[in-house]
Chain A
Amino acid sequence: MKGGYKGKILRVNLSTGRIEKENLSPELARKFLGGVGLGSYLLFKEVPAGTDPLGESNKLFFCTGPLTGTRIPTGRYVVVFKSPLTSILGWSSSAGHWGPELKFAGYDLLIVEGASSSPVYLWIDDDFVELRKAQHLWGATTSETQRRIRKELGDEEVRIACIGPAGERLVRFASIINDEGRAAGRCGAGAVMGSKKLKAIAVRGHGGVKVADPERVSELVKRMYEVWKSEPFVRSLHLYGTNAMTSFTSGIAAFPTRNFQSGWFEEWEKLSGPTLSKTLLVKKAGCFGCPIACGRVSVVKSGPYQGMVVWGPEYEHVNTFGAGCGNSDLEIVSICHQLVNEYGMDGISCGRAISFAMECYEKGLLKKEEADGLDLTWGNKETIVELVKRIGERRGIGDLLAEGTRLAAKRLGRGTEKYAMQTKGLEYAGYEPRGMKGMALTYALGNRGGCHITTGMLYLDIGTMTWMYPLDSPLDPQVLDLEKVKAEIALERRYTVIEAAVLCKFFAGIVFTPSLLASSLSAVTGWEMDEGEVDRIGERIWTLQRMFNVREGISRKDDTLPERFFTEPLPDGFSQGQVLDRKTFEEMLDTYYRMVGWDENGIPREEKIRELGLEEFLPLR
Chain B
Amino acid sequence: MRQYLKVDLDKCTGCRTCEVVCAEVKTKECNPKKSLIRVTFVPPYFFLPINCQFCDRPPCVSSCPESALEVDEKHRIRVDPKKCIGCSWCLNVCPFGAIVLDEETNVVRICDLCNGDPECVKACPTNALELVTSELASIKNRFSAAQKLLAGLISSSGILKEVKG
Contacts and interface: CB of A to CB of B under 8 A. Distances in A.
Nearest to A287: B15
Interface string B17-50: 1001101100111111110000011011101000
Contacts, number: 79
B76 interface: no
A288 B13 contact: no
Given A71-B21, A291-B125, A297-B45, A97 B30 contact: no
Interface string B34-70: 1000001101110100000000000000000000000
B92 interface: no
Nearest to B103: A206
Contacts of A71: 20-21, 24, 30
Interface residues of B, number: 27
Nearest to B29: A208
Contact of A208 (B23, B41, B126): B23
A396 interface: no
Contacts of B33: 104, 205-206, 208
B109 interface: no
Contact of A207 (B13, B31, B40, B44): B31
B29 A290 contact: no
Given A71-B21, A71-B24, A309-B45, A288 B31 contact: no
A211 B29 CA distance: 8
Contacts of B28: 214
A70 interface: yes
A286 B41 CA distance: 12
Interface in A153-186: 156-157, 180
Contact of B30 (A70, A286, A291): A70
What DSSP secondary structure best describes chain A's contact surface?
A: loop
Contact of A285 (B17, B21, B34, B45): B45
B56 to A, nearest CB: 28
A69 interface: yes
A582 interface: no
A210 interface: yes
Interface string A473-507: 00000000000000000000000000000000000
A104 B32 contact: yes
B24 A293 contact: no
A542 B54 CA distance: 54
Contact of B43 (A147, A207, A284): A147
A282 B30 contact: no
B118 interface: no
A551 to B, nearest CB: 39
A104 to B, nearest CB: 7
A179 B103 CA distance: 27
Given A156-B40, A209-B30, 20 more contacts: A100-B32, A104-B31, A205-B33, A206-B103, A208-B27, A208-B34, A214-B24, A218-B24, A285-B14, A286-B13, A286-B16, A286-B125, A287-B15, A288-B20, A289-B17, A289-B20, A290-B15, A293-B13, A293-B125, A295-B13
5 contacts: A97-B16, A104-B31, A104-B33, A180-B43, A207-B31
In the complex, the 5 A-B pairs of residues with the closest C-beta atoms, listed nearest first: A208-B31, A286-B15, A291-B125, A286-B13, A293-B13
